[in-house]
Amino acid sequence: MATAPQDVPPPLKDIPTAKEKKYDRQLRLWGASGQVALEETHILLVNSGPGVTGVETLKNLVLPGVGHFTILDSAVVSEADLGVNFFLEDASLGKFRAAETVRLLMELNPGVEGHAITEPLETFITQDNVFAPYSLILAAAPIDPTILAQIQSQARTLQIPTFYFHCVGYFSCFSVLLPPAFPIVDTHPDPTATTDLRLLAPWPALMQFTKEKTGGLEEGKLNAQDKAHIPWVCLLLHYLEQWKEQHDGKLPASYAEKTEFRKLVRSGDPHEENWDEACAAVLKSLNPPTPSSSVREILEAPEARDINTTTPAFWLIANAVQHFYTEHKQLPLPGAVPDMKAQSADYIKLQNIYKSKAREDAAEVLAHVRKLEQSIDRSPDLAVEDKEVENFCKGAAHIHLVRGRPFQIAQAGEAIMFGDRAKAMAMELTMPESLIGLYIAFLAWDTFVATHSSPAHEAGGQALKVPGSGEDWEADTEKVTGIAHTVVDNLIKEAGTLIEDPEYAELKQKVSEFVQELVRAGGGELHNIASLTGGLVAQEVIKAVTRQYVPVDNWCGFDGVGSRTGVLRL
């Protein structure tokens, strides 16, 4: 029986400035658009064990103001829960764990709505379209593998990002399922990597400005003040013209040529600060405006080529940008100008020259987007927003595409297959820094759960047996180690490769050690590791829902003994 959303007083209506003030420190990272996306999100936490990693994740999402969250958990609060879950109190004993946790989490932020569902997971999941209301799913281990498979299959159909996570003793990990095409425009690249000044392909307005600023320089007619304030961008453009005259119209391309070019610039003045800036910028600024191969791959992706009435805006714009690129052999100009020594008025002029070129480029892309919309008869309701085109053009050189992949689910009696990732993962086995040993240990841990738990319909979903939780700890360790070693051997076989001793013995030993640690904890969480994992997962959830920054693709493990994370693509 699903309980209705909690009967709680309506959230306090914060006046906009108060809300802005409360979220001030995070708005400075992900901006208003990220905040809106977060507030439009409804997270579902599927929690069947005593662990608190999921609750800690929710805490980190309720605080910054996620719109809604729902906890699906049919368990009743026990004494053991009180010792581990910060969001329960003594009075919670004997009540539904989901309802009590929701109530206490909601105290953190009156602007967030929480709901509890106390229906058993195995009947909940049999309903039609049961995940449709949610924009993101969190599933906590241990969980019945057949149910996990159902969740994953529905999430894939509905394209709902889904996280599956473990936390055992000093170790934890999470897997991420993202839609098969998950593009990100706002990747927040390193600011130093984004400057694109097009010095090798200047346009008339920029050249005109350069001539104004450098006119008389060679003849020595400039006064000292004007000379000392020529923006370095203009200096480089000026000397590039000289270089071309001396080199049959060719630009400096090789490292040697650029070094030679720098000498030419330096010959203009040995001391002035703007000359120093110009010389320092030679190597990083004189690059042809060619997009990276990964960006070209996105622009040429089938989704961008074959557009139809329901194609997401991203791909329509990608199509238009690809068109722009074919035509101009360069991406739209981002338009930002770094700080430099210059007269304030000149600097503002220079900024405006870049800004207006960027606007022109974006306008051209937008015009093409509108043409496409017409040609496919797209509904005006679905019209791409101008702002979106502008953002895409600004960040075009740094767009990113994640090709989401399903995570592996250990099922009783089924061999684990790595498919097209087998070769890469077999390589990982031989890398000393890789946490693939931990991945395999957790996979074996799941396999143990799958083979030692009664089917949910028989046991009421309560009989998940995790390794190390019973009396015979050594026997469990042996079993899980055996499973893990089989996974290793099968992986090597599947990859069609061979790993010889002593490497082979070492990697098996490494896997055994991870297994031992996991089993010894007996399924118990360390609070700070759960809290840490909740921090990692929440951060990735924020990346996924705001579509900002590049999310983990698609497994991340944490080794608390070494205090470090490792990422694998499976």
Partner 1 sequence: MQRRDRGIAQSLGLPLTKRVKESRVLLVGAGGIGCEVLKNLVCSGFGSLPQYYGGEIASEISDMRRPEIVVVDMDTIDLSNLNRQFLFRKQHIKKYKALVAKETASQFNPSVNIDAQSGNIFDDKYDVAFFEGFDLVFNALDNLAARRHVNKMCLAADVPLIESGTTGFNGQVQAIKKGVTECYDCNPKPAQKSFPICTIRSTPSQPIHCIVWAKSYLFPELFGTSEEDSADVTVTEVDNVEEVAKLRIEAEALKTIRGLMGKSEFAQAVFDKVFRDDIERLRGMEEMWLSRRKPEVLCFEQFAPSMDKSEDVVERGRALAMKDQAIWSLAENLAVFSSAVDALSNRTLASPGTPLEFDKDDKDTLDFVASAANLRSHVFGIPLNSEWEIKQMAGNIIPAIATSNALTASLSVLEAFKIMRGASFEQKGVSKLTISHVAPTHNYMVTNGKEGFMLGGSKMVFLNSRSTERMITTQNLVPPQPDCAVCSPVYAKLRIPSNSSATLQDLVTLLQEKLGYEDFSIQADVGIIYDPDLEDNLEKGMIPAGYIKAGNGFLTVVDEGDEGRVDLVLSTSFTPNTTEADPESGLQLMPEEISLPSKHKSVAESNGQAMTTTEATGDASKVAAHFNAKRKRDAEEEVVGAKKRAKADEEVMVVEDDGAILLDD
Q: Which stretch binds partner 1 (CB under 8 A): 125-133, 140-148, 253-261, 338-346?
A: 338-346
Q: Which stretch binds partner 1 (CB under 8 A): 40-48, 69-77, 327-335, 534-542?
A: 534-542
65: nearest Cα among 102, 35, 42: 35
For partner 1, the binding residues in 232-251 under the rule CB under 8 A are none
Q: Which stretch binds partner 1 (CB under 8 A): 3-11, 24-32, 305-313, 494-502?
A: 24-32
- Please, what is the minimum distance in Å from the beta carbon of residue 28 to partner 1? 4
DSSP secondary structure of 15-69: -HHHHHHHTHHHHHHHHHHHHHHHHT-EEEEE--SS--HHHHHHHHHHTTT-SEE
Binding of residue 271 to partner 1 (CB under 8 A) = no
Contact residues for 297 (Cβ-Cβ < 8 A; gap 6+): 401
Q: How far apart are CA 22 and CA 19, in angstroms?
A: 5
Binding of residue 21 to partner 1 (CB under 8 A) = yes
Binding of residue 501 to partner 1 (CB under 8 A) = no
Using the minimum distance from each CB to partner 1, give the nearer residue, 23 or 69: 23
Binding of residue 193 to partner 1 (CB under 8 A) = no
- Positive or negative: CA dihedral 247, 248, 249, 254: negative
Binding of residue 430 to partner 1 (CB under 8 A) = no
- Please, what is the minimum distance in Å from the beta carbon of residue 474 to partner 1? 9
Q: Which stretch binds partner 1 (CB under 8 A): 139-147, 320-328, 354-362, 522-530?
A: 522-530
- Please, what is the minimum distance in Å from the beta carbon of residue 113 to partner 1? 17
Binding of residue 558 to partner 1 (CB under 8 A) = yes
175: nearest Cα among 193, 156, 162: 162
Binding of residue 503 to partner 1 (CB under 8 A) = no
- Please, what is the minimum distance in Å from the beta carbon of residue 175 to partner 1? 15
> What are the backbone dihedrals phi and psi of residue 274, each rounded to the nearest 5 degrees, phi first?
-70, -30
SS3 at position 363: helix
Cis? peptide before 502, omega within 30° of 0: yes
Choose, by CB under 8 A, the member of 148, 316, 393, 552 that binds partner 1. Answer: 552
Local structure of residue 525 (DSSP, 8 states):
B
Helices (H), 159-222: 191-194, 204-214
- Please, what is the minimum distance in Å from the beta carbon of residue 171 to partner 1? 9
Question: Are 331 and 323 spatial neighbours (Cβ–Cβ below 8 Å)?
Answer: no
Choose, by CB under 8 A, the member of 65, 145, 161, 202 that binds partner 1. Answer: 65
Binding of residue 429 to partner 1 (CB under 8 A) = no
Q: Which stretch binds partner 1 (CB under 8 A): 156-164, 206-214, 454-462, 514-522?
A: 514-522
Binding of residue 539 to partner 1 (CB under 8 A) = yes
Q: Kindly give the interhelix angle for 145-158 and 436-452, rounded to the nearest 10 degrees.
A: 120
- Please, what is the minimum distance in Å from the beta carbon of residue 432 to partner 1? 4
Number of residues binding to partner 1, judged by CB under 8 A: 86
367: nearest Cα among 324, 309, 310, 314: 324
Helices (H), 308-379: 313-328, 344-375
Binding of residue 363 to partner 1 (CB under 8 A) = no
Binding of residue 348 to partner 1 (CB under 8 A) = yes
Using the minimum distance from each CB to partner 1, give the nearer residue, 33 or 150: 33
Binding of residue 272 to partner 1 (CB under 8 A) = no
Ordered strands of the 162-168 beta sheet: 113-117, 68-72, 42-46, 136-140, 162-168, 171-177, 555-559, 564-568
Using the minimum distance from each CB to partner 1, give the nearer residue, 226 or 388: 226
Binding of residue 387 to partner 1 (CB under 8 A) = no
- Please, what is the minimum distance in Å from the beta carbon of residue 258 to partner 1? 30
Question: x/- site string to partner 1, residues 282 to 321, per CB under 8 A?
Answer: ----------------------------------------
For partner 1, the binding residues in 395-424 under the rule CB under 8 A are none
Local structure of residue 341 (DSSP, 8 states):
S
- Positive or negative: CA dihedral 257, 259, 263, 268: positive
Q: What is the identity of the amino acid at 327?
A: E
For partner 1, the binding residues in 94-133 under the rule CB under 8 A are 107-110
H or E, element range at 43: strand 42-46
Binding of residue 86 to partner 1 (CB under 8 A) = yes
Extended strands (E) in 104-143: 113-117, 136-140
DSSP secondary structure of 210-272: HHHHHTTTTTT-S-HHHHHTS-HHHHHHHHHHHHHHHTTTPPP-SHHHHHHHHHHHHTT-SS-
Q: Per DSSP, what are the bridge partners of residue 252?
A: none
Binding of residue 24 to partner 1 (CB under 8 A) = yes
Binding of residue 334 to partner 1 (CB under 8 A) = no
Cis? peptide before 287, omega within 30° of 0: no
- Please, what is the minimum distance in Å from the beta carbon of residue 266 to partner 1? 22
Q: Which stretch binds partner 1 (CB under 8 A): 22-30, 247-255, 389-397, 455-463?
A: 22-30
Choose, by CB under 8 A, the member of 22, 465, 485, 547 that binds partner 1. Answer: 22
Tokens for 180, please give them.
């098969």
For partner 1, the binding residues in 468-487 under the rule CB under 8 A are 473
Q: What is the identity of the amino acid at 2?
A: A
- Please, what is the minimum distance in Å from the beta carbon of residue 515 to partner 1? 9
